[in-house]
Amino acid sequence: MVGRIIKSKKGISLVELIAVMAISVVVTGAAMMVLFSGSRSTTEGTEDFGSHSNARLLENWLCTNLPNADSISVGTGDHSHVSGYTMYFTGDSENSFVIAKNNVPILNISGIRDFAVSTEAVGRNQTFRYRITAESGGRTYVLSGGVVLNNISAEHLAIPSEIQYNQSNLGYITVN
């Protein structure tokens, strides 16, 4: 009887082996897809954070320094003769936007694609409107808003239409 049991015991057939291998390949492939998509999401999140933080850095400076400014002017060409705070693009490939005080850079923000400004009269005050477009890793982030200028009346400042600054329009904005 023991001899019969040993003789009747079969091994794994080739078809069963191929089926198990196919199932394990599918399961492994699915696990790898989940792993790589998580890695891609992390990379995209990091890029988003980079462009958001660059735009927010510029916005924070505007919100901190513009409300108490005595004057704001815009210009084109050479800005080396200008005193006070000056904001401008450097014209380099990094889309560097510089904020300088008396022509000494105090803040260099990379990844800013363009910066658009205008003013709007609100009662007796002016509102400085801005739109910041930042890019990082091919992804774009746009941030817009306004800052009420406490010390500049509506009669003394007028940017009648939106002015857009970028790498091809290298004007500057002066804040005193």
* Residue 133 within any structural domain of the chain: yes
Question: What separation in angstroms does the CA of 9 have from each of 2, 3, 5, 142?
Answer: 11, 10, 6, 71
* Residue 55 within any structural domain of the chain: yes
> Which pLDDT does position 21 carry in this prediction?
92
Separation of alpha carbons 98 and 91, rounded Å = 10
Q: pTM of the predicted model, to two decimals?
A: 0.68
| pLDDT (average), residues 106-121 | 87
Does residue 125 have a pLDDT over 90? no
Using DSSP, how many helices (H) and how many strands (E) does the chain show? 2, 9
Q: What is the pLDDT of residues 21-64, one digit of tens each?
A: 999 999 998 888 877 776 665 556 555 555 578 788 889 999 99
β-bridge partners, 139: 136
* Strand 97-101 relative to strand 104-109, pairing: antiparallel
* Residue 170 within any structural domain of the chain: yes
Q: What is the pLDDT of residues 18-29, one digit of tens each?
A: 999 999 999 998
Q: Which residue has the tokens 């002017």?
A: 73
* Residue 158 within any structural domain of the chain: yes
- Residue of higher predicted confidence among 122 and 50: 122
| pLDDT (average), residues 142-167 | 79
> Which pLDDT does position 160 carry in this prediction?
64
Helix (H) or strand (E) holding 2: helix 2-8
- Per the structure, the count of domains in the chain is 1
> Which pLDDT does position 24 carry in this prediction?
92
Which residues form the domain of 62?
44-175
> Which pLDDT does position 26 carry in this prediction?
92
* Residue 166 within any structural domain of the chain: yes
Helix (H) or strand (E) holding 65: helix 14-65
* Residue 15 within any structural domain of the chain: no
* Residue 38 within any structural domain of the chain: no
**CB distance 80 to 172 below 8 Å:** no
**CB distance 68 to 147 below 8 Å:** no
Distance spanning both ends of the chain, measured CA to CA: 105
| pLDDT (average), residues 109-127 | 83
